[in-house]
Structure 1
Amino acid sequence: MASSLTIRPVLTKRDRKAFVDLPFRLYADDPHWIPPLKGEAIGLITPEKNGWFSHATAQLFLGEQGGRVVGRISAHIDTLALTMPAEQGFGPGCGQWGLMEAESEDIFAVLIATAEEWLREQGMKRVLGPISMSVWEEPGLLIDGFDHAPTVMMGHAKPEYRGWIEAAGYAPVKQLFTYELDITKPFPPIVNRIIQSGEKNPRIVVRRVDKSKFEQEAAIILSILNDAWSGNWGFVPLTPPEIADVGVKLKPIVFNDLIRIAELDGRPVAFMITLPDLNEAIKPLNGSLFPFGWARLLWWLRAPQVRTVRVPLMGVIKELQASRMASQLAFMLIEYIRRAAVENYGAVRGEIGWILDDNQGMRSIAETIQCDINKTYQIYEKTL
């Protein structure tokens, strides 16, 4: 019973290990859950290993019952998010919770109440969740699309969590979609004509990134990203410490032909990042690189062959977003990377997203190239 439940803060390395270990038991029978590499999962919640903590603070909680860990949750405050306009989702007095897992609704209710109380003590008046832990990591609760595994850097959840969250007084505030498509098929004729027109335009150059100049290329992409996304709901600018950490994590799966930058009159104005689905490689490792996981993963990284590639980020600078040029650049980026993904990595499936439900520009592009929504994630809000 919940009456015998103990909630305590995560304080030690052992506590963090227990926090990371819990989902391995709760999802043991779920064929679509992807066990994260435990080292990466511990790094996410360790301030010294996650650049997000340079502008954020968090408290993790464990629920224990009968000598077992039966639930977990994080409560956190992003100081950059507090400076954003409230109409864009965050804003003054807005905290978050995430990384929630629980054996039962009773346990969940106590965990979320504990997270809410911690946020109130920090002066928060409103809460959004689940956000685990930065909006750039795994925002939202999966509410549709449980029948297949998530791609790299996307979340999974139990179907019952939705009812538990709503029963705790939370209302939906935003949906995020991922779109999938068969990338072995050419795009519709109208899209190809738009691409061909762009190829004839001497002002446009779409180039591969140069991984040997990783920091310089990352700076270009970051500049475009922070401009292109600045008006989006939930936007919080990425900071240099976060970029440095992301670079370390993603550099092994960065390939020159899967990341492109579009230049107009020699100026970088758009980009698209595509990643081979690392989840296909790590799923059999069950969270551990030992004793043979290192060798398997390193072998895979040498020349990955995957079924799926994912587009986690793309953007066009704000001054072009209302123009025809924006969609033309997007179609060119998608087509060039589609070809590379099929020819060089054996991919047959692409996934684009997440895309905000009110991002009509990106949703229109996805629908024009005949994508279908395959997963829906939902973010909730509550007044504290």
Structure 2
Amino acid sequence: MRIVEVLDQKHRKDFLDIARIIYKNDSNYACPFDAEIEGVFDPKENSFFKHGEATRWILINGEGKLIGRIAAFINTNKAFSFDQPTGGCGFFECINDKKAAFLLFDTAKQWLTVRGMEAMDGPVNFGENDNHWGLLVEGFIPQGYGMPYHQKYYKAFFEDYGFKVFFEQYSYHLDRTKPFPERFWKIAEWIAKKPGFTFEHFTFENSEKYIQDLIAIYDEAWQFHDNFSPIDPDDIRKMARDGKGVIDEEFIWFAYHEGKPIAFFVMMPDVNQILVKMDGKFNFWNKLKFLYHLKTKTITRARITIMGVVPKYQRFGVESAIFWHMEKVLEHKTHYKEVELSWVGDFNPKMISIYESVGGVKMKTHFTYRLLFDPTKPFKRTPIIPLENRGSKAKEKKVKERG
């Protein structure tokens, strides 16, 4: 077997083709657009290169066949915030061969070690954690856009190599043909109409205003979260530009209290229902096919990608009120039959409670693993977010570490 670092156009193509080889004839797999994956590794496209570095490799067997791939990256904004400096590996794909898998892990580990890292998370993304993050271990069914799909045998590869679960990620599904619990709606409507609170959806015309509001909410809501780092506004602007043909303005909501932004909610049409027909290519004919399926309402599923509420308002039921407004929107978009609520970590019991209160059913589980290069060091799972509001660092220090 031979490891080759991806440095030229041929090997970039090979890196993309490996996923097509691994999932050939698997109808559950929706291949991401090649350009999307390439963008992760392009400093001109990915702002994480401003504060990090990344590379990737392919694995070739003795007969010259492609049998695996992996990427490694360091986000310096987060790497040194852990007990051990921690990098990441991702975009792992491999045939069912443990030696091949371990060689890929060894390669990523060695690259990170040379750069001062003492631990490796995986499989993760060189970017925000709403896309390409975690290993699928339960729910081998079609995934929502951005949620990775994997072979069942990958779990043994990671765990046999020494990776341990850092946190679990759950995706809940909401069947829109079933009504929400009546009690939920009464509370939601009361909050939605309470004086001082206003709700409005995103518009491209005022996109910069909403981008700034989202950043303000995110920074305040996540500032005490483990390993918080601010969002780069350029990332949000790029997502808005790139998604303009797909983003539904009425699927992105903001809540305000006396004019101050206090919560946001982002839901996207699940374009995987179209991508599954396109094999990752966005050539002329596939562009026409994509537009056709958009117009003919092939997409019947949406995915909630992120939701945030500033700590001071986390007990006001603002999340319920946003769901109330969102349900009013979906009443005139009847082709949407299902909503995926993803992903929520096992460290976030409050959000899990919200998802369950609206009737969500846990359908998929992904694991984010961590490997300590020195196995004698104590391993700690990501801390649980307390149910009470977190208004100070003192409260955050009281969070229980999970061994």
TM-score scaled to structure 2, two decimals?
A: 0.87
**Which of 333, 345, 348 is the aligned partner of 2:337?**
348
Measured in 2, the distance between the counterparts of 1:359 and 1:62 equals: 36
1:359 to 2:348 alignment: yes
Do the aligned partners of 2:91 and 2:132 also contact (CA within 8 Å) in 1? no
Do the aligned partners of 2:55 and 2:73 also contact (CA within 8 Å) in 1? yes
Residue 6 of structure 1, CA deviation: 0.7
CA gap 1:184/1:204 in 2 versus in 1, 3 angstroms: farther
What SS class does the counterpart of residue 244 from structure 1 fall into?
helix
**Structure 2 equivalent of residue 94 of structure 1:** 86
Measured in 2, the distance between the counterparts of 1:190 and 1:43 equals: 45
**Structure 2 equivalent of residue 154 of structure 1:** 147
**Structure 2 equivalent of residue 24 of structure 1:** 20
Do the aligned partners of 2:273 and 2:298 also contact (CA within 8 Å) in 1? no
1:368 to 2:357 alignment: yes
Measured in 2, the distance between the counterparts of 1:209 and 1:361 equals: 25
Larger CA deviation: 136-145 vs 47-56: 47-56
Measured in 2, the distance between the counterparts of 1:198 and 1:285 equals: 43
**Structure 1 equivalent of residue 60 of structure 2:** 64
Segments of structure 2 that go 5 or more residues without pairing to the other structure are 374-403
Residue 335 of structure 1, CA deviation: 2.4
**Structure 2 equivalent of residue 45 of structure 1:** 41
1:189 to 2:178 alignment: no
Measured in 2, the distance between the counterparts of 1:123 and 1:281 equals: 42
**Structure 1 equivalent of residue 107 of structure 2:** 114
What SS class does the counterpart of residue 344 from structure 1 fall into?
coil
Measured in 2, the distance between the counterparts of 1:305 and 1:339 equals: 21
What SS class does the counterpart of residue 48 from structure 1 fall into?
coil
**Which of 215, 218, 224 is the aligned partner of 2:217?**
224
Larger CA deviation: 110-119 vs 185-194: 185-194
Residue 197 of structure 1, CA deviation: 1.2
**Any idea what the Cα deviations from partners look like across 1:293-347, whole Å, max 9, x if unmatched?**
11122344457452211100111012222x2x1xx21011112213323422510
What SS class does the counterpart of residue 333 from structure 2 fall into?
helix
What SS class does the counterpart of residue 333 from structure 1 fall into?
helix
Measured in 2, the distance between the counterparts of 1:259 and 1:170 equals: 36
Higher helix share: 1
**Structure 2 equivalent of residue 209 of structure 1:** 202
**Structure 2 equivalent of residue 140 of structure 1:** 134
Do the aligned partners of 1:306 and 1:345 also contact (CA within 8 Å) in 2? no
- One-letter code of the match for 2:49? F
Residue 209 of structure 1, CA deviation: 1.4
Larger CA deviation: 280-289 vs 228-237: 228-237
1:281 to 2:274 alignment: yes
What SS class does the counterpart of residue 238 from structure 1 fall into?
coil
What SS class does the counterpart of residue 32 from structure 2 fall into?
coil
Residue 56 of structure 1, CA deviation: 1.6
**Any idea what the Cα deviations from partners look like across 1:164-190, whole Å, max 9, x if unmatched?**
111111111110111111123332121
**Structure 2 equivalent of residue 14 of structure 1:** 10
**Structure 2 equivalent of residue 81 of structure 1:** 78
Segments of structure 1 that go 5 or more residues without pairing to the other structure are none
Measured in 2, the distance between the counterparts of 1:194 and 1:303 equals: 36
Do the aligned partners of 1:184 and 1:342 also contact (CA within 8 Å) in 2? no
**Any idea what the Cα deviations from partners look like across 1:261-282, whole Å, max 9, x if unmatched?**
1111121111111111111122
TM-score scaled to structure 1, two decimals?
A: 0.91
**Structure 2 equivalent of residue 269 of structure 1:** 262
Measured in 2, the distance between the counterparts of 1:187 and 1:240 equals: 35
Measured in 1, the distance between the counterparts of 2:293 and 2:222 equals: 33
What SS class does the counterpart of residue 98 from structure 1 fall into?
strand
Measured in 1, the distance between the counterparts of 2:225 and 2:170 equals: 14
What SS class does the counterpart of residue 343 from structure 1 fall into?
coil
- One-letter code of the match for 1:316? V
Do the aligned partners of 1:94 and 1:124 also contact (CA within 8 Å) in 2? yes
CA gap 1:233/1:186 in 2 versus in 1, 3 angstroms: farther
- One-letter code of the match for 1:69? L
Residue 234 of structure 1, CA deviation: 5.5
